[in-house]
Amino acid sequence: MKNIYIAELLALTLSLNIPLLIDARPLNSTENLIFGQNIKKYSADKSIVSVKSYGFVDLEGAKPAAIIVEYDKNIEASSLNINKYEVTNYVISEEKQNGFDKTIEIDYDGIKGNEGQITRIYVNNKPELSKQQNLKSGKYVIIELNTSYMMSGQNLPYMTSMMAGIKQLSDVFASDGSIIKASSKEISNYSVKYQEFNRNGKKSFKKVIETDKNKIVLPEFSKENGWNINYIGDGGFKAYNCYSEYTGKYEDFEMPYSIFVPSQELLEANKGNIALVIHMEHAGGNDTDPMAAVTSSKAAVKLSNKDFQKKHPAIVVVPQIEETRRSTNDMDASSEANTAIWELIDEILDKYREYIDENRIYGSGQSMGGMTILNMASQRDNFFGGIAIIGAQWSNNYNKEFQHNGAPTRTPEIDPISFNGFGLNKENFKNWYYMVSDDNILVHTCLDDLMSTSEWKEFAEYYEAAGVKIPHEEWDPYISLDEQYKIDVKLTSNDNTLPGSGIYWGTFTRGTHMSTWKYGYQIDYPYEWLFAQSRQSEISRGKVEKLKNNWLGRDENGKMKSDSGTANFNSAQYTPNGSSDIFCENWTPVSAMNNMINKLLEEAKKLSYEDFSKSMTKIRNYYKLLSKDEKLQIRNYTLLLQTEVHKK
């Protein structure tokens, strides 16, 4: 015990810069220990057992709130202060490389440059944060970090954003009287490698950060908090006969997923009234690791939040999509993941049938994930009681096979699992605008999201031609959350009993596509609105019957002609860069083919033979898919072939 007090005395003396007075008499054994003759000294390089990042999911994804440094012996709290350590994390490294202005979108505390820096330091006897912070010694040094900021750009994979490293800059003291000397290098939980890629034909390298998953602590997703994370080979869902519109093939595979289930007490107290939410993430969360999806936006933690669950008890399911099985694409087609998600939903409904209110099954998601939900809404009519999506869109494509090498479109006959006879509408299921016209949908987009905002603008025009006005509001996402909440409430306050009146569209006046879920999930209202919806309100409302009419075109002013519908109509297609000049509004395989040929003829002189040849290969593949009658309507194909000969 004496050694403990000696170490405390020495630590206090040095931290206060009190001079040590030494007389000429011989030192006793205790004084020898204090003045360094018998003190054991160790390097932090060897004494530090591990470095872990401890965090939470914020608007831009997983964010470290602390770094947990484990030592091989108890450390005296009195020997610590924030100047003893230097930390590294993603926000600090980005600011060093790119500067504050390019790294930080919002600085909540208004102190420039303190992002990710140390705010307090203390010891604990467990690898976790402590509110008390009153232990005198402990094996774990907890270094809490400033999290009062929002980073610019897209949400990052948690394996990148949860990187952490430390350097111990000066001595700290252990409870056994020994000294832990400064480290000679950074000790971290991550590694850096450089990945080769080609950009415009030139070899380049990009920096890739990989954090050790075993050295990341995200307590929001612990089993104690109701989450079960299911990996391939360890609880993943085994799906069978899953159809892909990309390939025309059926796949059997294991799909990772995460599921939140309320406590048994909450389940029993709300038996028969539990909601089910299927949340789908954006393509940036694509991975084989189910933690990738639940950490790539704030949606999952908002839905499973204890206070939210008390008001709206729900089971939350987050399927994990692999990049090789990307659930949807920009041509309104879907992969084998579509069928697998339905199979997973059916199994969960069967398992929790006595608890779930099937009038209150909800869809949530952003970007690719929101697109998946919107697509699924037309497969099982009125299956979802409500849909809340962000930065996502869908539309009509009656000719998917033309864009997917002849792979047949998903139909009730080809994919009976996805359609399942539930609200099946064999006559109109390809007319997506009609199928969702009785649904409860709340969507938020960013003004500069050229794809999502443009497609919702056209959605509103098609509905207006059919006699329905879609409520729409625009606002700055930087105004107060209270003001944004009120605008959302106003947006959804119309009489929603008429056909088409359950769909609402809000637009943020700043930000691009990947900003949308940072702005959208900071507002609480969309999920409050979602949980107030029910399947019965959709069924009672009925569909917009005029949307079953054929498309009549636009007048000389570009306005949609009155009573125009969307049957047998292909929507204009968009990419993140804007509208396609090939697949234009009301496109057909013939019109698309003619557009491709004319575009390549215009560009022929500028293109190298190699680039021209690549485009020709695509055109030949498309041409093979045309019928004999369609081929007769193609112009300039022979001229294009002659141009190819001359290019050689």
The pLDDT tens digits for 463-475 are 999 999 999 999 9
Per-residue pLDDT, averaged over 195-224, amounts to 87
Question: Whole-angstrom Cα distance, residue 547 to residue 566?
Answer: 5
Per-residue pLDDT for 434 more than 90?
Answer: yes
**DSSP secondary structure code for residue 278 in this structure:** E
Asked whether this chain's domains 2-208 and 218-548 adopt the same fold, the reply is no
Question: What pLDDT is stored for residue 18 in this prediction?
Answer: 44
State mean pLDDT over 23-32. Answer: 38
- What are the pLDDT digits (tens) for 336-386? 999 999 999 999 999 999 999 999 999 999 999 999 999 999 999 999 999
Q: Mean per-residue pLDDT for 511-516?
A: 95
pLDDT single digits (tens) 211-252: 999 999 999 999 999 999 999 999 999 999 999 999 999 999
The model's pTM: 0.92
Calculate the alpha carbon distances from 304 to 254, 316, 368, 444, 507 in Å. Answer: 25, 7, 22, 21, 26
For residue range 83-141, list pLDDT tens digits in order.
999 999 999 999 999 999 999 999 999 999 999 999 999 999 999 999 888 899 999 99
Nearest alpha-carbon partner for 380 in 352, 351, 417:
417
> Which pLDDT score is estimated for 424?
86
Q: What is the pLDDT of residue 24?
A: 37
Residue 38 is predicted with a pLDDT of: 78
Residue where the block lists tokens 């931290």: 15
Q: What is the pLDDT of residue 22?
A: 34
Asked if the model's pLDDT at residue 289 lies above 60, the reply is yes
CA 50 – CA 46 distance, rounded (Å): 10
Tokens 């394996």 found at: 159
DSSP for 23-53 reads -SSPP-HHHHHHTTSS--EEEHHHHEEEEEE
The pLDDT value given to residue 32 = 42
**pLDDT for the residue numbered 1:** 45
Tens-digit pLDDT profile for residues 30-77: 334 445 457 999 999 999 999 999 999 999 999 999 999 999 999 999
Mean pLDDT over each residue of the chain, to the nearest integer: 93
Task: Evaluate if residue 292 carries a pLDDT over 70.
Answer: yes
Asked if the model's pLDDT at residue 513 lies above 60, the reply is: yes
Q: Domain ranges in the chain?
A: 2-208, 218-548, 588-647
First to last CA, the chain: 89
Find tokens 């204090």 and name the residue.
34
Contact yes or no for 56/63 (Cβ under 8 A): yes
Q: What is the pLDDT of residues 534-551, one digit of tens each?
A: 999 999 999 999 999 999
Q: What are phi and psi of 409, to 5 degrees?
A: -65, 145
What are the start-end ranges of the H helices in 132-216? 158-161
Report d(CA 166, CA 162) in Å as an integer. 13
- Considering the segment(s) 2-208 as one domain, its CATH architecture is Sandwich (2.60)
Backbone angles phi, psi at 541, to 5 degrees: -70, -45
Cα(314)–Cα(328) distance, rounded to whole angstroms?
26
Least confident of 39-48, 198-207, 522-531, 537-546: 198-207
Q: What digits encode the pLDDT tens for the residues 571-600?
A: 999 988 899 999 999 999 999 999 999 999
* Beta carbons of 477 and 512 less than 8 angstroms apart: no
Q: Is the pLDDT of residue 6 over 80?
A: no
| Tens-place pLDDT, residues 403-422 | 999 999 999 999 999 999 88
Q: Please state the rounded mean pLDDT for residues 380-397.
A: 98
**pLDDT tens, 563-573?**
999 999 999 99
Could you tell me the fold of the domain covering 218-548?
Rossmann fold (3.40.50)
Band of pLDDT at residue 201, cut at 50, 70 and 90: low
- Region 6-20 average pLDDT: 47
Could you report the per-residue pLDDT of 136-164, keeping only the tens digit for each? 999 999 999 999 999 999 999 999 999 99
Percent of the chain predicted with pLDDT > 90: 89
Average pLDDT estimate for 302-318: 97
Write out the DSSP string of 316-369: EEEEPPPGGG-SB-TTS-B-THHHHHHHHHHHHHHHTTTTEEEEEEEEEEETHH
Confidence of residue 28 (pLDDT cuts 50, 70, 90): very low
User: Considering just the CA atoms, what is the radius of gyration of the chain in Å?
Assistant: 30
